[in-house]
Structure 1
Amino acid sequence: MKCLECKSTHVNKNGHKKGKQNYICVECGRQFIECYQPHKGYSQGVKHECLRMYVNGMGFRAIERIKGLHHTTIINWVKQVGGLLPQAYEPDTIPEVGELDELETFIGSKKNKMWLWTAVDHFKPGILGWVLGDHSAQTFKPLWELVEQWRCYFYVTDGWKVYPMFIPDGDQIICKTYMTRVEGENTRLRHDLARLKRKTLCYSASEEMLKHSIRLLIYYFKFSDVPIPYSSNHLDTLI
């Protein structure tokens, strides 16, 4: 028998590991067993179920406890999927009335506040565009560049000071009563994504992870299913 590291034949038995004979190389100290079974990986069905659990309000460690998978494995699946999903979707019809709002959250610490800006069609369900960042005009600008193309009759907001910098005079209606659509969508985000809940042990440690999670959840809202991380650069879907 040869050492897997230095190829030396000077090896000794060194107890058992998980019921299998363990060996140690006298020359380099490498420990190994005689025959390794290749890891077959998890099935598409297991990945699909775990991702559906995630977008239905469960945290990574809760899924870990139920499914018996390590939480970092599920995190990697979310990253893999989220990195391939689009930032926004073309509306089926051009919105006549747009609604704009901001959802407050945090990254790592509650002192590190972030805002998720969302845009919706007043008459149809679904989030059509979003950006994540601070509460400034610089963060909102990319979202407005998307929304501006709709050329809505008017836009409904909560009156945050940034909006008049972009929305033409007379085109903004400040009224929380008419913001039921966007506030409803933001409530769904908080309800279905554990890391966005107001009182939770789950939170985002990185902005990148939060963005991946939002892309996945918005996909789920739109298609009522989740894509599967089939490979490093391809998504598959179980319907």
Structure 2
Amino acid sequence: MGKKIDDYYVNKALQLYLEGLTYREIERILGISHVSIMNWVKKYNIKRPLGSNYHPTYKILSATELSNYFQNTKNLSGAGVVVTELGDKFMLIKWERFRD
């Protein structure tokens, strides 16, 4: 039996998967095998929404960097943003709004 990975990281991996990151990108961010992530997606029957024609960008920021990011109003217009805790840092996931 393999080692048990904390549920915190399982949830983060699945969250990032639903946000559109690839298995390899999640592996680089969390330090967890992309194969483990694929297995969790299958185990929990996670499905991404159909028709997602975007790929989010992400940044890993300290609390100070995150605060500075949000102080610039140009960073807040025309895009969706999600922030999640990642250890002692924060991950900011951003995607442009759909345009007709």
TM-score, normalised relative to structure 2:
0.45
- Structure that is richer in strand per residue: 1
Query: More relative contact order in 1 or in 2 (CA 8 Å, sep 6+)?
Result: 2
Instruction: Please identify the structure whose Cα radius of gyration is greater.
Output: 1
Higher helix content, 1 or 2: 2
What is the TM-score when the length of structure 1 is the normalising length? 0.20
